[in-house]
Amino acid sequence: MKTKNLLLFSALALAYPIQGLRAESLPTKTVSIVAYDTMKYSVTKFEVHPGQKVIVEMKSEGIQPKAVMGHNWVLLKAGEDPIAYANASMTANSEGYEPKKLASKVLASIPQLGPKETARTSFTAPSKPGTYAYVCSFPAHCMAGMRGVMVVK
């Protein structure tokens, strides 16, 4: 009887491969990112599962004033060009360098922070596996390397 049960279980496992845990049963993924005056993020890549709840916390460890060295975090939809987004955002000072006209390209964001400020955002990871870019859209920061990727797999 035990052999039959084992064979049945094996056959079912092959017929219905396990694709991982269901998104609602996954623990929330928390990512802590530090932004520096060197125009770098402390985290440039992190992985999540499709549909997983995600919290991104960002702290600005800079000392220069927000007006000259502010940092934000903008997660773009799949396929969006981070350099193009950052270039288009450079003139959007009054909107915290997150232009409303580009909102359809954004999945989540943390507004511009000044020295020693902290903020967080929460969202559900996209259901489609892939690479999703994130950037600091303060002028020239993305081009200096202040960007990264979230990988959904």
Report pLDDT for 117.
98
Give the length of the chain. 153
pLDDT band at 16 (very low <50, low <70, confident <90, very high): very low
Report pLDDT for 25.
83
pLDDT at 142 over 70: yes
**Residue 6 located in a structural domain:** no
**Residue 7 located in a structural domain:** no
**Residue 115 located in a structural domain:** yes
Range of the domain at 47: 23-152
Report pLDDT for 136.
98
Tens-place pLDDT, residues 55-72? 999 999 999 999 999 999
- H/E stretch holding 3 reads helix 2-15
CATH number assigned to the domain comprising residue 101: 2.60.40.420
- What is the number of structural domains in the chain? 1
Calculate the average pLDDT of the chain: 89
H-assigned helices in 30-129:
66-69, 82-89
